[in-house]
Structure 1
């Protein structure tokens, strides 16, 4: 908390200098570690697939006698809900259209299929591989070793093998602090982006040009609602809002789907999915014709990989908690496939519908270029646009509240000695800290006239996720050692 508060002081008082410093460091990270992000993402996917088909795939997340806490249908529904967030509203139209208008690769397929394929790539298996790794690592410590919720507990077998001393204990504390900081950066980035999109929606609805200070007001409002929800607990607050989110999101998807070219959407969904699977490895390595260039990779792929890494501990704990009693094989296949396919279908429905609009217009003049207003511009071409756009704004607020209240709860677990029901003092502290820091991110995003919250968080997350990505390599090595030990005892 001290580190975050000190950084917040720089964001508030030395905003421009802080932005310039972050920009220079992000370029250094891109030049020296950009390829590492790509190799790590591909490595995690291939490793998980290897484990799923290996003898280790039979190992349960938990003790041999443990049974799943949820039916398979309930489990699938919760996995799908974990894949939903404010980001799919932010990028639903803007990203596929950007890829169509600026094809990242020249592989001979149509612009529409390429746009969907690359969008799938950035929202698909790699993101969920990061989440799955953390879920299985945390699940092993939680359900096999019966240890409190803390990333440092993944090193327990290694530390026990040596001598526990002052240095080893403090090394474990550093690991936990690193995970907490990375989680906070990922979360406040999502809050800043989501609040900016809400402001874009209000501008569009009321044909206004609201000041960025409105975003600050929205962040404080979201932080307050989130704290109230987190104080109410999982059952009363977090679960109810999450359930409403799913209903509204599926309703919005169905609303657009039934009014679009259903046959073409389904056709392009399967074509893009096929291309994505066939070309996944060369795209992941960015080799030859599958290399979109350093600038594109920085603005898109490196940023996405950093974002998914930042959210991996947070989302991984949720997945671990709902997956107890299932085999590693079932968890890996389910987590990699189900949320990915749900997101792919979402982007196909909105992306293909936007492509048809552009074809009908005869020319594209940047109508969907603004990431914060694109979905509102898109929905004005459908009936009841005022009502639907208002619903999207409410859905954005609800998604952000759900993300922040869950994060308050998880961060409370991390800092309250792994307590699955953290004290209200911890929840209060994290609610306040997250709100203060989110406001700082908004200020950072407006440090220069030509920047916004998106450009700021892109640069910030590429830096802050690097230590966790390096740590993940060590975590995976220890996890594989523990898996082999567990299997040998069977």
Structure 2
């Protein structure tokens, strides 16, 4: 699937070049991926698991309910602390990563830029990560916590104050931290190093090529099962609430039959959205969803007690920030509120864990080009800012009616019929019917945006996809949308929302262990990135200065002033760039390659053509067994010609920079105009920097002698994963363009 054009990205290059006319010289600057195929082991393993559990629930509901209850009690008693610790560890890890020097690394090559504008990105990450359950719990949980708090007495001012804070805690930084962790892992390994967009790629620094075997399949199956149950829980909540909304509006009865019909309709809508792709379907629905949610928010704020609600919003933010450190590690060892913990914190943490691979992969799909710091900060703050306002406004509105206005009937109604909570609150304001209609439609959109993005991501999990911009086959998206609907119906039949909560706690536990492996894999990978950054600084500072007398210095520094002046006013067109590559770049890199081979080095030089511009490029690769390969590729990058240079005599609107690319993207400068000797020195500059990177990223003497170190860095493992083509192939990053191809006739 093609990505939408990014108007902020300066280079105008083609994402998917046409087939090469020269089969003997396939392009290395273009992404060259193997065809997408189905991973039948993962697909059948997860599909059979979902179908078997669904049939068990449908055919033997009492047995399924009893077994789930027993397992949940065991997990809560023995692993409640583990869920609490995991949530805290994840938040600390991603904040440290974002604040570190590695935070400026991009989820993609160094020159890549975001695909989507900020609002579209924020709308999609919010709508995918939060479903109709936010409407459900924004009223239900604060009221429930007010009557039965985890600690202290209920129906007091302190209970009311804590009620919204606990709700914010369950929807706050911890859950979004889990999403950020998985999204960071997916995006980093897929877009920075062109590994498959799957969880197993994040484990490569730990287990190496075994990720292609049973271990990798087991991780993906675990992620798929957790995702299915996490999404089914949200959809089950949504169906129950939408059913009541229809009863409120049209007197439609509340029954399993109506809910089954709603599931069928919603699945069909989700399928239509999922098969249309991210830009056409999910993006538009997400944006519409945000507008409608904002309308509901303003409706309650304006017609409610506005002053009280604004005071409550500020107070809730302060309480959340001040109490979060204590709440995040509070396992309530002396209180033993087992039922409370199962119903709230453990369920929510398991729910977030179950959703993390699904939402994380989706976030990675829409976050290519953003830095790690931008991604983490945006994921933690943008959705939470909306959640804070939403929960504070709706939760405090309900508490105001109960605590301040003594409307006990309102509170009793919510406690007796939880699915009616949101609509019961809307019924307290003028124009309730219209507001309920908007709420029902918004809930339906929340349902669809969760189901369609879930089906899209699950199809990716069960496919062998090496192109990070490609999605799983449409037939598989249809299957997973239908399978999720079937599981939702089965769980509703054997006990409703409580059963879905129990299943989520059980199936979230295995993947909670995977989160630790992902953190460890990311830490090892980012350690290598840190070494790469350190080697760059050493090369530009120490190495360059030390070798200046020997003329091994950056080529830009050795050019004469006349060369620099000529280059500063030169904007080469296609013909000039082509001539330069053929007469200077190709001979220079061929000569370096020949010299390296004479020294016994495994070096290869490949020649290709960028098919959007027909300008040739050249790639020099030194294959380093057991280390990351050295790559130096000179590739044409189109830029708009400055307007003051355009004239009737000039037919080209673009000029071309010939930029050197490494594995992680463009080095950011132009070598056009270098002499052959100067270009060779530039290759050697980059080669020396790569050698310095290997030295820094390798194990220390102490680490090398320790038997406890399992590969001290990713540079000590076989980085060229052999999933498809070697990593010397997808070097240059190709953004979409409408200029390079369409204006080719004028050039």
Same-fold status (TM-score > 0.5): yes
CA distance in 2, matches of 1:12, 1:414: 27
Q: How far 1:208 sits from its partner (Å)? A: 6.4
2:471 paired residue number: 421
Provide the rounded CA distance (Å) in 1 between the counterparts of 2:55 and 2:369: 45
Task: Please name the residue that 1:59 is paired with.
Answer: 105
Q: Against the structure 1 CA distance between its residues 91 and 409, is the aligned structure 2 distance closer, same or farther, given a 3 Å change threshold? A: same
Displacement of 1:486 in angstroms is 1.4
Q: Name the residue aligned to 1:132.
A: 180
Which structure's residues are more often helix, by fraction? 1
List aligned pairs for 1:179-218, cutoff 5 A.
179-206=223-250, 209-218=253-262
Does residue 1:169 correspond to 2:217, yes or no?
A: no
- Residue aligning to 2:516: 473
**What's the counterpart of residue 374 of structure 1?**
421
* C-alpha displacement of 1:52: 2.3
Which residue does the alignment assign to 1:245?
289
Q: CA RMSD in A?
A: 2.2
Cα distance per residue 1:249-268 (max 9 Å; x no partner): 11111111111222222222
Q: 1:217 to 1:374 in 2, by over 3 A?
A: same
1:347 to 371, 391, 395: 391
Unaligned runs of 5+ in 1: 446-452
Q: Displacement of 1:123 after TM fit?
A: 0.5
1:488 counterpart residue number: 531
Q: After superposition, give the CA deviation of every residue in 1:110-142 in whole Å (9 maximum; x if it has no partner).
A: 333211111111110001000000011111111
What's the CA shift for 1:289? 9.9
Moved more, 247-256 or 56-65: 56-65
Q: 2:68 aligned with 1:22, yes or no?
A: yes
Q: Which has the higher Rg, Structure 1 or Structure 2?
A: 2
The counterpart of 1:141, out of the listed 175, 189, 200, is 189
Question: Following TM superposition, by how much is the alpha carbon of 1:287 offset from its aligned partner in structure 2, in angstroms?
Answer: 5.6
Q: Is the 8 A contact 1:59 1:487 kept in 2?
A: no
Is 1:152 matched with 2:152? no
User: Could you say if the C-alpha distance between residues 10 and 81 of structure 1 is closer, same or farther in structure 2, counting changes exceeding 3 Å?
Assistant: closer
Q: 439, 463, 467: which is aligned to 1:392? A: 439
Q: 1:144 to 1:42 in 2, by over 3 A?
A: same
CA separation of 1:25/1:218 partners in 2, compared to 1, >3 Å: closer, same or farther?
same
**Count of residues in Structure 1 that have an aligned counterpart in Structure 2:** 479
Higher relative contact order (CA 8 A, sep 6+): 1
Give the equivalent residue in structure 1 for 2:458.
411
CA separation in 2, counterparts of 1:317 and 1:221?
A: 26
CA distance in 2 between partners of 1:9 and 1:443 (Å): 11
Deviates more, 1:37-46 or 1:221-230: 221-230
CA contact (8 A) 1:147 1:153 kept: yes
Aligned mates of 1:295, 1:210 — CA distance in 2: 28
- The 5 A counterparts of 1:327-342 are 327-342=371-386
Query: What is the rounded CA distance, in whole Å, between the counterparts of 2:160 and 2:532 in structure 1?
Result: 52
Measure, in 2, the Cα distance between the counterparts of 1:458 and 1:436: 16
Matched with 2:271 is 227
Contact 1:201 1:372 in 2 (8 A): no
Inter-partner Cα distance in structure 2 for 1:77 and 1:423: 25
Report which of the two has the higher share of strand: 2
Q: TM-score, normalised by structure 2?
A: 0.61
Separation in 2, partners of 1:287, 1:226: 38
Tell me, in whole angstroms, the C-alpha distance in 2 between the residues paired with 1:297 and 1:223. 32
Residue 350 of structure 2 corresponds to which residue in structure 1? 306
Which stretches in structure 2 are left out of the alignment for 5+ residues?
1-46, 534-747
Alpha-carbon contact 1:104-1:292 (below 8 Å) kept: no
Give me the whole-angstrom Cα distance separating, in 2, the residues matched to 1:97 and 1:412. 38
Whether 1:457 and 2:494 are equivalent positions in the alignment is no
Q: CA deviation at 1:232?
A: 2.8
Aligned-partner Cα distance in 1 for 2:453–2:109: 27
Q: Give the equivalent residue in structure 2 for 1:437.
A: 487
TM-score (norm 1): 0.92
